[in-house]
Amino acid sequence: MGALGHFLEREGIPTVGISLVREHTETVRPPRALWVTFELGRPFGIPDDAAFQRRVMQGALDLFERTDGPLIADYPEHVAEEADFTGWACPINLAPGAGDTLAAEIDRLAAWYDRAIAAQGRTTVGVSGLDMPAAGKLVAAALQDSLPPAQPLKQAIDDLKAYYLEAASAFPDPGSSRTRKAWLWDETILARSLIALQPKLAASADAQHKILGNLTMIPATERHRLG
C-alpha cells in the first residue's frame, strides 16, 4: 500500500494513505499516512457507522495540506473489542451427522443465505462465477480426484466462505463476526474439507497449488488445525 503512495506522488498525484500496520508504514515511509488501530480488513473501523467512517476519512483527507512528510498521524479513536460471545452456539442445528456431505451442508445454508441477501440488499459471493453447489463439487472433486487448477479452486473456496459467513449473519441469533468465523472453522464440513485438502495441495508439484495450500486457503490463525 505504502509503495503506491511513492509511485503516484512521484508521478504528480498527491496521496494520503490509511495505515493498518504501523511498523510496515514506518519502513515504507509513504508521503502521508493516517494510522488506525482497527482490525485488518476494516480500514474505516465500524460497518454501518457512517459518522465514524466519515471522521476517519476527514482525518485522512486533512493530511493533504501537510508537506512535512513522510509523516504518520495517529488516528485518535479506537474500536472496542467485540463483546465476548463465549458460549455462543450456532442456533441452527447444522451439525454434520454421519454420512453428511458438503453438498448437503451447502444446501442447508441456502435459506439463510437468501435471508442475508434480503437483509443486506447485496452479496459479495460471485468471484468464481460458479453457483454454490458447483463450487462445493469442485472442492469435493479436489479431495477425491485429481486437483483442479489452483485459481478456479481458490475462487470457489473464497466464494464458499463468503456464502457461509453471509448465511450465518442471518441466523436468528447471529452472534458476532468473530463467533461466526469460529463456527465456520470449528463446525462445518467445508472447513474439514479444506483442512483435509491442505496436505494434498502442499504436496502438489504445481507452484500455484502450493501457494494455495500453504498461504491463501487457511488463515494463519487457523493453521493450528492442520495435522
Partner 1 sequence: MVKRLSDMPEVEAKHLARIECPTYDDTPLLAGKPLGQRRVALISTAGLHRRGDRPFQPGDGSYRVIPAETPAGDLVMSHISVNFDRTGFQQDLNVAFPIDRLRELAADGVVGSMASVHYAFMGAFPPEAAAPHAKHLAGLLKSDKVDAALLVPV
Report the distance separating Cα 120 and Cα 133, nearest Å: 22
Instruction: Decide if residue 125 touches partner 1 (CB under 8 A).
Output: yes
Phi, psi of 92 (to 5 degrees): -100, 135
Residue closer to partner 1, measured from CB, 22 or 200: 22
Instruction: Decide if residue 145 touches partner 1 (CB under 8 A).
Output: no
Report the nearest approach of partner 1 to the CB of residue 183 (Å): 12
Instruction: Decide if residue 148 touches partner 1 (CB under 8 A).
Output: no
Phi, psi of 142 (to 5 degrees): -60, -35
Report the nearest approach of partner 1 to the CB of residue 97 (Å): 27
Report the distance separating Cα 81 and Cα 224, nearest Å: 23
Residue closer to partner 1, measured from CB, 96 or 158: 158
- In 3D space, the residue among 26, 4, 27 whose CA is nearest the CA of residue 17 turns out to be 4
Report the nearest approach of partner 1 to the CB of residue 175 (Å): 11
71-74 and 32-35: which strand pairing? Answer: parallel
Q: Which of 95, 110, 141, 223 binds partner 1 (CB under 8 A)?
A: 223
Instruction: Decide if residue 78 touches partner 1 (CB under 8 A).
Output: yes
The label of the residue with cell 472496542 reads 80
